[in-house]
Amino acid sequence: MDNTLKKLPPKPVNYKTRTIHWLIAIASIVIIIWSFTGMDFSGIKATAGQIAGAIISGIFHPDWSYVWNGSGEDLISQLWETLCIAFLGTFISAVISLPFAFWAANTKHKKWYASRSGKLVLAVIRSFPEIVLALMFIKAVGPGSAAGVFALGFHSVGMLAKLFSEAIENLEIGANEAVIAAGGSKWNIVMFSTMPNLMPALISNTLYRFDVSVRSASILGLVGAGGIGYPLIIALQYRQWNRVGIILLGIVIMVILIDWISGWIRKKLV
Partner 1 sequence: MSKNTDHKLTELPKKKFKLMNLVWLIVLVGGFFLSVNATNAHISVLLDPANFGQFTEIFVQMCHPDWSYAATAIPLLIETIKMAVLGTVIGSAVAFVYSLLIARNIIKNKAVTGILRFIMNIIRTIPDLLLGAIFVAVVGIGPVAGVMALSVFTFGVVVKLFYEAIETIDPGPIEALTAVGANKLQIIHFAVMPQIITYFISYVLYAFEINVRASTVLGYIGAGGIGLYLQQTLQVFSYDKTGMIIIVIIIVVVLIDYVSSKSREALMK
Partner 2 sequence: MSEQPMIQLKNVTKIYGNGTVGLKNINLNINKGEFVVVVGLSGAGKSTLLRSINRLQDITEGDTIIDGKSITNAKGKNLRMIRRDIGMIFQSFNLVKRSSVLRNVLTGRVSYYPTWKTTFNLFTKEDKQKAYEALQRVGLADKVYTRADQLSGGQQQRVAIARVLTQNPKIILADEPTASLDPQTSRRVMRDLKMLNEEYGMTVLANLHSVDLAKEFGDRVIGVRAGEIVYDGKMSETSDAVFKDIYNGGNGKEADDE
Q: Which of residues 77-96 bind partner 1 (CB under 8 A)?
A: 80-81, 84-85, 87-88, 91
CB of 97 to partner 1, least distance (A): 16
45 binds, among partner 1, partner 2, none (CB under 5 to 8 A by kind): partner 1
Euclidean distance between CA atoms 134 and 249, whole angstroms: 25
Closest residue by Cα to residue 86 from 153, 154, 155, 139: 153
**Cβ burial, residue 230 (10 Å; 0-12/13-18/19+):** buried
9 binds, among partner 2, partner 1, none (CB under 5 to 8 A by kind): partner 2
Residues ≥6 apart with Cβ < 8 Å to 74: 66, 67, 68
Q: Does 174 bind partner 2 (CB under 8 A)?
A: no
Q: Does 63 bind partner 1 (CB under 8 A)?
A: no
Q: What is the pattern of x (binds partner 2, CB under 8 A) and - over residues 10-49?
A: -xx-------------------------------------
* The residue type at 22: W
Per-residue CA distances from 230 to 59, 69, 224, 235 (Å): 18, 17, 6, 9
- Neighbour count for residue 57 (Cβ, 10 Å): 12
Catalog residues that contact partner 1 under the rule CB under 8 A.
Answer: 31-32, 34-36, 38-41, 43-45, 48, 51-52, 55, 80-81, 84-85, 87-88, 91, 123-124, 127-132, 135-137, 139-141, 144-146, 148-150, 215-216, 218-219, 222-223, 226, 229, 232-233, 236-237, 244, 248, 251-252, 255-256, 259
